[in-house]
Amino acid sequence: MQTIAIVGASLAGISAARALRIQGFEGRLVIIGDEAQRPYDRPPLSKDFLAGRISADDLALEDSAEDLQAEWRLGAAAVSLDVARRSIRLSDDSRIGFDGVVIATGASARMLPEVAGRTNVHRLRTLEDARALREQLVPGARLVVIGAGFIGAEVASTARGLGLDVTVVEMGEVPLRGPLGAEMGDAVGRLHSANGVELICGARIAGFDISNNQVTAVRLDDGRYLPADVVVVGIGAEPNIAWLRDGGLELGNGVLCDSTGRTSVPGIVAVGDCAAWQDPRTGDHQRIEHWTGAIERPALAAAALLAGESGADYGPAALNLPYFWSDQYGTRLQFVGHAASADRVVIETGDPADHNFLAVYYDAEAPVAVLGLNQTRLFTKWRRALNQGTGLPLQPAGAS
């Protein structure tokens, strides 16, 4: 390969660039990004940056001395992929030829169409989003957060710390049921009420009151009326794959890949939030929208790209279990594994009522996931054990 194009100047994109150079690629490296900014860290956007504790400069992912010897094409999004001609067309109508491609275009936060464009309605995905929201988070303002996922919960936590009156509206009966399961989702959701935030679950939005291009209230179908000065929509994200619709790649909920990141088209791999990798343990394709995956997986994908189709697939041990963390109301939440495959959850230490505990998810007698709240040290031991498939740090509760 003489030229490799990385589409997406994100954490996953720059991680792929570093991996390619480390693994010996000396050819032309082109990094394409739709934002004008150089790569920056996104997790602090909902926390320290939103609270004003750090600046945009603190988010930079590049070291001042780092030189990837890459060509940067920023501020121009990729709009189509031509596999036959081995070229990518950008929004400025220029074209980038390639021998290999790393797709790292990430995902975009969803918006409710009926309030899109209102000046006090926000979603949070980019630095520009965070700047716009930060200007409106003033003490005493009434914030309504729609969606109690991780972004919604972190924004609610930050806003409460800034002195806002916060209400969180969640359609599900408990928050975070998907990643954590109903029992632990409910336990984590209690952090809201413990910190003076109203959490309304099982709610449906009946409509919005709008005046002067702003939402002034959110109306629920049970008759509740929530006055609002600011609204944040946190209802998940969609993979940025529309530009690939005619590119010949196999798509689903993301770009479908094997367990090394290789797509259905030779010479093209995908990483980060847009990529649905095959889990070698289950055979299912999963799109993992977490920071750790954007750090770890690009090295595997770079190796697969450089090796070509002759490269061997990796076994389960090479691909770590999904891991994520979240900081809410001064509490560090950490999770590893797959909650959906568990048939029970055991509190190994601590008490959920104190928001300080470690819970292990079991499938029969096998631990398949672990959740920790303010249990960083013990959680780290469990995470290592689950990934290695070796001895466990604790016996299952009740075991001899």
pLDDT of residue 394: 55
With beta carbons less than 8 A apart as the criterion, state whether 298 and 364 touch.
no
Residue 65 predicted with pLDDT over 90: no
Confidence of residue 390 (pLDDT cuts 50, 70, 90): low
- Provide the percentage of residues in the chain whose pLDDT is more than 90: 87
Phi, psi of 126 (to 5 degrees): -115, 170
Mean pLDDT, rounded, for 176-201:
97
Tell me the pLDDT tens digit for each residue of 276-305: 999 887 788 989 888 888 999 999 999 999
pLDDT of residue 398: 40
21: alpha, beta or left, given left = phi > 0 and alpha = psi -120 to 50? alpha
Tell me the pLDDT tens digit for each residue of 325-383: 999 999 999 999 999 989 999 999 999 999 999 999 999 999 999 999 999 999 999 99
pLDDT of residue 2: 95
The span from the CA of 205 to the CA of 170, in Å, is 10
Mean pLDDT score across all residues of the chain: 93
Tell me the pLDDT tens digit for each residue of 222-244: 999 999 999 999 999 999 999 99
Mean pLDDT, rounded, for 4-8:
98
Please state whether beta strands 275-278 and 285-287 pair in parallel, antiparallel, or not at all (unpaired). Answer: antiparallel
